[in-house]
Amino acid sequence: MATVLPARGIRVPSAPPAVAETDAPGATWAPSPNFGPRRHGGAPSLVVLHYTAMPDAAAALDRLRDPEPPEGLGPVSAHYLISERGDLWQMVREADRAWHAGVGNWAGCEDVNSHSIGIELANTGAHPFAEPQMAALEALLSGIMARWSIGPEGVIAHSDMAPGRKSDPGPRFDWRRLARQGLALWPEGDATPGDFDADLAAIGYRAPEGCSDTLLLNAFRLRFRPWATGPLTDADRAAARSLAARTA
C-alpha cells in the first residue's frame, strides 16, 4: 500500500486521509489534479524522460501538483518523480494522461501526452544524475515497459520530441547505461553511414516547421553524441543508421 501525501509538500501526515495503490511498487502516492483521459483511448506506447530544472525534489513535487501556478505558467504534471536519493512518487495513474510533454512530435504523433508516461528526475541540468536515482529509474522503467509492452525504442528524451524547445534530460544523462539493460536504444557496431535525414525520420525525429538545418542534428547529438561539435560527420550518419535499423 502506498502512502497518500497532502496537497502540497512531501511530509507524510500522521493520519493520512486515504490510502491508494500505486502502479509501481515502492512508490508513494502523491496525487496531482493536473491530468485527464488519454485522448486516443488506448495504452501508452512511449516513456518520456525529463529533468526538473528545479532546486530539489520537494519544489518539483509542489510544482507538478499545483492547479493554479503563478501567472504566466500553466499547470503541469508527470506520472512519476524520482529524487536524487531514489525516492519515488507517483502523481498520475499510468492509464491517465499527464501534462508533461507539451508541444512536439515523435514519429508523427503530435499529442505525445496521450501516448506516453512521463518521468521527472530531480536535477538542475548542471550536474550528473545520482546513482540511487538511476537505480530507481531502472527499476521503474522495467516495470512500466513490462506492463505496457513498450520496447527500448519507446523510451525517449523530452529533447527528442521537442527539438530546440527542450534539452532535458540533457548531455549528462547516461543513456548508454539504460541501453545495456535493454531499457533504451544506443548505437551499436560499425554501421555504414547512411542518409542522415531519412534515418532520423525512421528513428522518430520530426523537424518543427521553419527550423534550421542543424536543429535535428543538435537534438540527435544531445542524446547520442553529446561530445560532438561542428558539421554533420560520417560518425553521426553511422550512429543514426545503426539506430534506424533497430527501429524499422
Give the count of beta carbons closer than 10 Å to the beta carbon of residue 219. 24
Residue ranges of E strands in 101-220:
116-121, 155-157
Report which residue type is found at 57: A
Report which residue type is found at 93: R
Handedness of CA 32, 144, 149, 185 (dihedral sign): positive
What is the Cα–Cα distance from 245 to 235, expressed in whole angstroms?
15
Report which residue type is found at 140: L
Q: Are the CB atoms for 162 and 50 separated by under 8 Å?
A: no
Name the catalytic one among 94, 120, 153, 209: 120
What is the Cα–Cα distance from 208 to 95, expressed in whole angstroms?
28
Whether 21 is a known active-site residue: answer: no
What is the Cα–Cα distance from 131 to 82, expressed in whole angstroms?
12
Handedness of CA 143, 148, 153, 154 (dihedral sign): negative
Residue 153 burial class via C-beta count within 10 angstroms: exposed 0-12, middle 13-18, buried 19 and up: middle
Selection from 50, 62, 47 nearest residue 113 by Cα: 47
Give the DSSP per-residue string, 78-124: -SEEE-TT--EEE-S-TTSEES-S-S--BTTBS-GGGGEEEEEE---
Residues with catalytic roles = 120
